[in-house]
């Protein structure tokens, strides 16, 4: 038996990277996976490679699109047991060079999008009266500030706060809410960083990690699986760091 047998999981940013890895692992563990993204061709291709998965276009900044996707999933499956808020963007820029447009772009996706997803899906979860799990993908930047990532850090701190507040509000309904805080993970979003493209820089960075390697999308997916499953049925409001031991 799979750890997610009978569960329906909605995953944002599922076309590639950590979201795609979550989708594959969740399906392998028995979940019906609904993956969403704005990268429609890639999202549909990813879903086609996962048994029983479906793809839906979703701009997580758009409240109406959130409602439409949730309504469709409820119509198709009658329940949403797991929400993984994975979609997000980074911005590497000095704070004094950051424009209000930069600020709004990053916070609209990382914070507003997560808020809309939590609120819209939680309404369906509460009506279903079933134990459910919300997993918000934040970052180590959501627990400490990072130079040249001020707006990204601020948005991820916001996700951490939403997680902890929602856990207190929704626990009475059987909804667990936790956040995952990856360190430097090798995905499409980070592929162009010198930490990955320059062999010497990569070796230097790896030496700063106690486990002596970069993170992989599968490292995040395995923790997301635990939090989505009944194995974590007494865990809520927690921030789980996955960074090889850099921030103990």
Would you please indicate which residues are annotated as catalytic (active-site) residues?
152
**What's the distance, Cα to Cα, between the start and end of the chain in Å?**
34
Overall residue count recorded for the chain in this entry: 248
Give 176's strand partners. 133
CA atoms within 13 A on the CB side of 59: 6
Question: Which residues are CB-neighbours of 113 under 8 A, at least 6 positions away?
Answer: 12, 60, 61, 85, 87, 88
Torsion of CA 66, 140, 33, 3, to 10 degrees: -140
Q: For the chain, how big is the Rg over CA atoms in Å?
A: 17
DSSP 8-state code for residue 109: I
Tokens of 242: 């996955």
What DSSP string runs through 25-41?
HHHHTTPEEEEEES-HH
Which residue from 128, 113, 122 is spatially nearest to 19, judged by alpha carbons? 113
SS3 content of the chain, % helix, strand, coil (to 5): 50, 15, 35
């Amino acid at each position: 038996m799979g750890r997610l047998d009978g569960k329906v999981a909605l995953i944002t940013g599922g076309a590639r990277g950590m979201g795609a890895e979550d989708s594959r692992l969740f399906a392998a563990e028995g979940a019906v996976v609904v993956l969403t993204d704005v990268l429609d061709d890639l999202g549909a291709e990813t879903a086609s490679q996962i048994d029983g998965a479906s793809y839906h276009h979703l701009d997580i900044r758009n409240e109406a699109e959130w409602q439409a996707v949730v309504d469709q999933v409820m119509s198709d499956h009658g329940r949403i047991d797991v929400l993984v808020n994975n979609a997000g963007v980074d911005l590497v820029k000095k704070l004094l060079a950051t424009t209000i447009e930069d600020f709004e772009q990053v916070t609209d996706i990382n914070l507003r999008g997560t808020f809309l997803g939590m609120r819209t899906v939680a309404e369906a979860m509460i009506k279903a009266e079933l134990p459910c799990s919300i997993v918000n993908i934040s970052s180590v930047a959501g627990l400490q500030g990072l130079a040249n990532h001020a707006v990204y850090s601020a948005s991820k701190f916001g996700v951490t706060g939403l997680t902890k507040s929602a856990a207190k509000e929704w626990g009475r309904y059987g909804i667990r809410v936790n956040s995952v805080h990856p360190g430097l993970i090798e995905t499409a979003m980070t592929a162009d960083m010198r930490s990955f493209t320059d062999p010497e820089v990569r070796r230097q960075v790896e030496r700063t990690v106690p486990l002596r390697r970069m993170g992989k999308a599968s490292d995040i997916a395995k923790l997301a699986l635990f939090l989505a499953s009944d194995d974590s049925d007494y865990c809520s409001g927690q921030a789980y760091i996955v960074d090889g031991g850099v921030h103990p």
